[in-house]
Amino acid sequence: MADAIAAGFNMPTADVDLTKECSEIGLGEADILMSVLPIYAGRIPKVALERLSALKGEGQKAVAVVVYGNREFDDGLLETKNTLEGNGFQVVAAAAFIAEHSIVRSIAAGRPDAEDVRIAHKFAQKILENLSETEGVQVPGNEPYVEPKPTPFHPSADENCVNCVLCAENCPVGAIPVDNCSSCNSELCINCLRCVQLCPLHCRSMPAPFMAFITQMLNEKVCGYKNPPVFLSEAPKT
């Protein structure tokens, strides 16, 4: 989704990967920061917001984008907007796009699709059209934020694990020990399931009882095709 929106801006871009530790970057006065973060259980992972806070602004325009698995984005978009504004940026646009659910992958399968990309391009173009005259944007959400319900379940590998360390090297929070990739540090794990998606032998998974529960729960709450909502600021009233 980040690439699709950036393509709509049709200007040079520089990427900052928040799945890794990042340092402060220099931003020009006319630069635009676009933050694209995942929603897990209605909230942004704490580690993502901590790394985002390394990017400091001095009044530059910013775009807050979240991506969620077709249930709800809850307070995540407001949380992102507030973090950016606290970092010194002026958030002039926001959006919540849908992607395949990271746990129950049959939900929103194939998203983002061609329509999502079309909306992403149009979203970027609308931002540019109004950029010089915009003020802050309003987004839905609650304050204080609703606390996510913790889960005792985390991904682990079965006996087919060969300790190739691909999962450990790509875990954004270092929850998988390099010398024992079949395990997982539950204190660090954020259940992003990146390790499950990357495993070349498909031997990492969530526990079966949890998968049965979460699949039933989400199928009851998620219905139909949702269009991504976008929020654009208006020109200040005179």
23-49 tens-digit pLDDT? 777 789 999 999 999 999 899 999 999
> Tens digits of per-residue pLDDT, 58-113?
999 999 999 999 999 999 999 999 999 999 999 999 999 999 999 999 999 999 99
Greatest Cα-to-Cα distance within the chain, rounded to the nearest angstrom: 67
Label residue 213 left, alpha or beta by phi (over 0 means left) and psi (-120 to 50 means alpha): alpha
Question: Can you tell me the distance from the alpha carbon of 211 to that of 196, in angstroms, rounded to the nearest whole number?
Answer: 13
Report whether 61 contacts 34 (CB < 8 A).
no
Write the CA distances from 63 to 56, 79, 81, 104, 169, integer angstroms: 14, 13, 8, 28, 30
Contact in structure between 107 and 100 (CB atoms under 8 Å): yes
* 3-class secondary structure, 67: strand
199: number of Cβ within 10 Å: 19
- pTM, two decimals, is 0.93
Domains identified in the chain and CATH numbers: 2-145+227-232 (3.40.50.360), 156-205 (3.30.70.20)
Q: What residue spans of the chain are helical by DSSP H?
A: 2-9, 46-52, 76-86, 114-130, 166-170, 194-198, 208-221
Assign 3-class secondary structure to 124-150.
Answer: HHHHHHHHHHCCCCCCCCCCCCCCCCC
Most confident of 103-107, 112-116, 213-217: 112-116
> Would you state the pLDDT for residue 171?
96
pLDDT, average across residues 193-201? 95
- The Cα-based distances of 209 to 104, 184, 188, 190, 205 in angstroms read 13, 18, 22, 19, 11
> How confident is the model at residue 148, as a pLDDT?
84
Residue 238 has pLDDT above 80, yes or no: no
